Homo-oligomer: A and B are copies of this chain.
Amino acid sequence: MTEFVTLREAVAGLIHDGDCVAMEGFTHLIPSAAGHEVIRQGRKDLYLVRMTPDLIYDQLIGSGCVSRLRFSWGGNPGVGSLHRLRDAVERGWPGPLALEEHGHADMANAYVAGAANLPFSVLRGYQGSDLPRYNTNIRFIRCPFTDEELAVSPAIRPDVTVIHAQKADRRGNVLLWGILGVQKEAAMAAKRVIVTVEEIVDSLDAPPNACILPRVVVNAVCLQPGGAFPSYAHGYYARDNRYYIAWDEIARDRETFKAWMQKHVHNTADFNEFRRVLAETAGAAA
């Protein structure tokens, strides 16, 4: 059953060193505030999972929180590379990063399989691709009825899934809308679920068949308005594209990155303070 706690309490209580953690979001509703809190609390040896690792995963990797990454596309969406991810893969800084690389179709299927408590997923995929040569977790089976060959992949079963959503009601039911990505499947596949939300309301007033995570699958709801910044929250705020562009410069250099993280994340108490410090920096630069 859902507890209403601060993000600090949720991360402290539910995310442990060595956990398999999925912080999902498909350019929409990225759980940035939660990612920062994981960095602030100094988690180590995380096995991160995400279809589209972006800025927050770049920050986690550069901060030395991550030893392993299962993913299908890692980049700064609309801008270019993730320099911290590249530095870890190309030069092993700040430590080695083991990659488990799949395609999007496979990752989406593997979340569905995880949500359905199946040990593997099945897809028509990877024919002619080199990916199965470098990822021994991509295998092939034959259909017991037609003898067709199909790809299989281990289901994703995170210890913890973290998502950001628009609303929760006071009983702990969570509503999200717009681009949904794989958030619902990632949550249903997880042992524990943390949701940061824009607001907590008496009633969701959701339309029929809306995308709702019932309270019985949500362990912690944390009120964190703006928690998806710099991505967007449909109906609340737009993407801050300047931040995405600025990140490209910040992340290129190890020292610039470290100084930025120290000032903006380690030296701030929470995401609200991070936003204030960031606004001051931007104001000073203007």
Q: Is A208 an interface residue (CB 8 A)?
A: yes
Q: Let me know if A143 and B117 touch, CB within 8 A.
A: no
Q: Once bound together, how far apart are the Cα atoms of A137 and B234, in whole Å?
A: 46
Note all chain B residues with C-beta closer than 8 A to A120: 122, 143-146
Q: Let me know if B144 and A139 touch, CB within 8 A.
A: yes
Note all chain B residues with C-beta closer than 8 A to A227: none
Q: Once bound together, how far apart are the Cα atoms of A148 and B180, in whole Å?
A: 32
A279 to chain B, nearest CB (A): 30
Q: Is A103 an interface residue (CB 8 A)?
A: no
Main secondary structure of the interface of A (DSSP, over half): loop
A270 to chain B, nearest CB (A): 30
Q: Once bound together, how far apart are the Cα atoms of A177 and B207, in whole Å?
A: 9
Given known pairs A177-B209, A207-B207, the reply for A148 and B119 (CB within 8 Å) is: yes
Q: Is A210 an interface residue (CB 8 A)?
A: yes
A193 to chain B, nearest CB (A): 19
Q: Is A154 an interface residue (CB 8 A)?
A: yes
Interface size on A, residues (CB 8 A): 27
Q: Is A150 an interface residue (CB 8 A)?
A: yes
Q: Is A141 an interface residue (CB 8 A)?
A: yes
Mask: chain A, 173-189; 1 = CB below 8 Å from B; 0 = not:
00001101000000000
Mask: chain A, 23-42; 1 = CB below 8 Å from B; 0 = not:
00000000000000000000
Q: Let me know if A208 and B210 touch, CB within 8 A.
A: yes
Note all chain B residues with C-beta closer than 8 A to A146: 119-120
Interface residues of A in 43-92 (CB under 8 A from B): none
Nearest chain B residue, comparing its CB with the CB of A176: B209
Note all chain B residues with C-beta closer than 8 A to A178: 208-209
Q: Once bound together, how far apart are the Cα atoms of A154 and B139, in whole Å?
A: 21
Q: Once bound together, how far apart are the Cα atoms of A144 and B121, in whole Å?
A: 10
Q: Let me know if A119 and B145 touch, CB within 8 A.
A: yes
Note all chain B residues with C-beta closer than 8 A to A211: 209
Q: Let me know if A154 and B150 touch, CB within 8 A.
A: no
Nearest chain B residue, comparing its CB with the CB of A118: B122
A115 to chain B, nearest CB (A): 12
Q: Let me know if B209 and A180 touch, CB within 8 A.
A: yes
Note all chain B residues with C-beta closer than 8 A to A124: 117-118
Q: Let me know if B150 and A118 touch, CB within 8 A.
A: yes
Residues of A at under 8 Å CB distance from B? 117-120, 122-124, 137, 139, 141, 143-146, 148, 150, 152, 154, 177-178, 180, 207-211, 234
Q: Which 4 A-B pairs have the closest CB atoms?
A: A207-B207, A177-B208, A119-B143, A119-B146
A-B contact list, 7 entries, CB within 8 Å: A118-B122, A119-B143, A119-B146, A120-B143, A139-B145, A177-B208, A180-B209
